[in-house]
Amino acid sequence: SQLAEENPWALSVHEGESVTVNCSYKTSITALQWYRQKSGEGPAQLILIRSNEREKRNGRLRATLDTSSQSSSLSITATRCEDTAVYFCATDNNNRIFFGDGTQLVVKP
Amino acid sequence: AQTIHQWPVAEIKAVGSPLSLGCTIKGKSSPNLYWYWQATGGTLQQLFYSITVGQVESVVQLNLSASRPKDDQFILSTEKLLLSHSGFYLCAWSSDSATEVFFGKGTRLTVV
């Protein structure tokens, strides 16, 4: 079974709107990672939030972590068309990283 | 700086033919190495991982095999391709702490 799972499966917003992707995970973690994968490319890390952190920001991105409910969220403000991508959360376990199935985000002009 | 290079960029192969995909990591000693597979629009499926030369763990059986002949090289292969092998193959590396996975640009494989 998946150690991490994003929801919703897909999202569509218009440019300038804000959007949030949620993640639930099943293991104890040292950190929760968020990745973005654009079409035809490999994923790239956006934010790493450690288990002792509750919030992390990176420009227009904001990640939260709630270890008690084993959940995380990634919010993007002022979305742009170039934010169109699949967003994954990932957890580490025994020095390996496990990805969820991803949320497909489409940002329309 | 570390770099990861995957080859080839794309392949079109016939069913039943052999396949070899490669990956080289420069600038990082003893990385953890991974092979992932994605069907078109699909999820990232981890296929193999390796923490040291000569040692490869299989995560999913897809009639593929992997080898790590050198510290900086990871090879994915099969003797007979199936239609279901089509997809996007990604090589990746991480450090021991696994706080970030760095992906290559991928190989697009089409089996016809």
Number of domains comprising chain B: 1
Residue A66: other Cβ atoms inside 10 A: 11
Interface membership of A52 toward B (CB under 8 Å): no
Interface membership of A76 toward B (CB under 8 Å): no
Amino acid identity for residue A92 in this structure: D
Q: For residue B105, which residues of chain A lie inside 8 Å, CB to CB?
A: 41-42
- The predicted pLDDT at position A93 comes to 75
Pairing type for strands A103-108 and A10-14 reads: parallel
Chain A residue nearest residue B87, CA to CA: A40
CB A95 within 8 A of CB B32: yes
The domain of A79 spans: 4-108
Q: For residue A90, which residues of chain B lie inside 8 Å, CB to CB?
A: 101
- The predicted pLDDT at position B54 comes to 94
Paired tokens of B25: 């990591």
Secondary structure letter of residue A81 according to DSSP:
G
- The predicted pLDDT at position A97 comes to 80
**Closest partner residue to B49 among A31, A96, A102, by Cβ?**
A96
Q: What is the pLDDT along chain A (109 residues), one digit of tens a residue?
A: 578 999 999 999 999 999 999 999 998 888 999 999 999 899 999 999 999 999 999 999 999 999 999 999 999 999 999 999 999 999 887 767 888 999 999 999 9
Q: Mean pLDDT for each consecutive 10-residue tract of chain B (112 residues)?
A: 94 97 94 91 87 92 93 97 95 83 94 97
Find the CATH number of the domain harbouring A99.
Answer: 2.60.40.10
The domain of B18 spans: 3-111
Interface membership of B48 toward A (CB under 8 Å): no
CB B88 within 8 A of CB B23: no
